């Protein structure tokens, strides 16, 4: 019995060592130009990652190796587009609305400038604006430029009339 326990703990330790080695190799060899680890989603296609998401995204513009990696201030068009596509996907699947979604949006696009939104094609921005709007986030005037609306997004549509809850 003691031999079985020691061999199972030994194999668990070996598995942990192998996992650490694998993670170390991934970080050394699979890093992007911004010094971040490559996305584990890189082996999937954009169509697979987007699944049955009904919002329009340019699948050919999505770089799956950047999926899940927030776009930095100096992001390429592909990186900005990939981040927008990922957020559209996540917002569509999440069971989050109104203030909670708005908080997620603020976190996901923290540090983004109007210029970063302009790196993404208008149709993709429209999809982002639509998913936010459908989930109760006020996205501004429909006649305004979409990049400007997303940059200055104000929050849920009933933001001004609903008192903020304490606690």
Residue-wise pLDDT for 133-144, tens only, equals 999 998 887 777
Residue-wise pLDDT for 64-87, tens only, equals 999 999 999 999 999 999 999 999
Contact call for residues 129 and 139 (beta carbons, < 8 A)? yes
Residue-wise pLDDT for 101-117, tens only, equals 999 999 999 999 999 99
- Name the β-bridge partners of 31: 37
> What pTM was computed for the model?
0.69
Give CA separation, 156 vs 84, 91, 138, in Å: 19, 14, 5
The phi, psi pair for 67, rounded to 5°, reads -60, 125
Average pLDDT, the chain: 77
Q: Which two tokens stand for residue 102?
A: 């708005």
Contact call for residues 46 and 64 (beta carbons, < 8 A)? yes
Domain boundaries, the chain: 1-30, 39-156
Burial 105-143 (b: 16+ CB within 10 A, else e): beebbeebeeebbbbbbeebbebbbbbbeebbbbbbeee
Residue-wise pLDDT for 42-66, tens only, equals 999 999 999 989 998 888 999 999 9
Residue positions counted in the chain: 167
Tell me how far apart the alpha carbons of residues 18 and 20 are, in angstroms, rounded to a whole number: 5
Q: Which two tokens stand for residue 40?
A: 């584990």
Residue 23: pLDDT above 90?
Answer: no
Q: Which two tokens stand for residue 76?
A: 């390429």
């Amino acid at each position: 019995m003691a031999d079985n326990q020691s061999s199972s703990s030994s194999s668990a330790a070996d598995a942990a060592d192998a996992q650490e080695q694998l993670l170390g190799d991934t970080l050394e060899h699979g890093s992007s130009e911004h010094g971040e680890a490559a996305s584990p989603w890189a082996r999937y296609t954009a169509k697979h990652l987007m699944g049955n998401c009904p919002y329009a995204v340019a699948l050919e513009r999505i770089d799956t190796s950047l999926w899940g990696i927030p776009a930095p201030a100096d992001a390429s068009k592909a990186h900005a587009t990939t981040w927008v596509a990922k957020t559209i996907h996540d917002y569509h699947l999440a069971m989050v609305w109104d203030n909670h979604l708005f908080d997620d949006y603020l976190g996901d696009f923290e540090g983004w400038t109007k210029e970063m939104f302009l790196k993404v094609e208008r149709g993709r921005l429209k999809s982002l604006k639509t998913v936010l709007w459908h989930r109760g986030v006020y996205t501004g005037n429909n006649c305004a430029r979409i990049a400007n609306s997303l940059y200055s997004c104000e929050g849920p549509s009933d933001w001004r009339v609903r008192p903020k809850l304490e606690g």
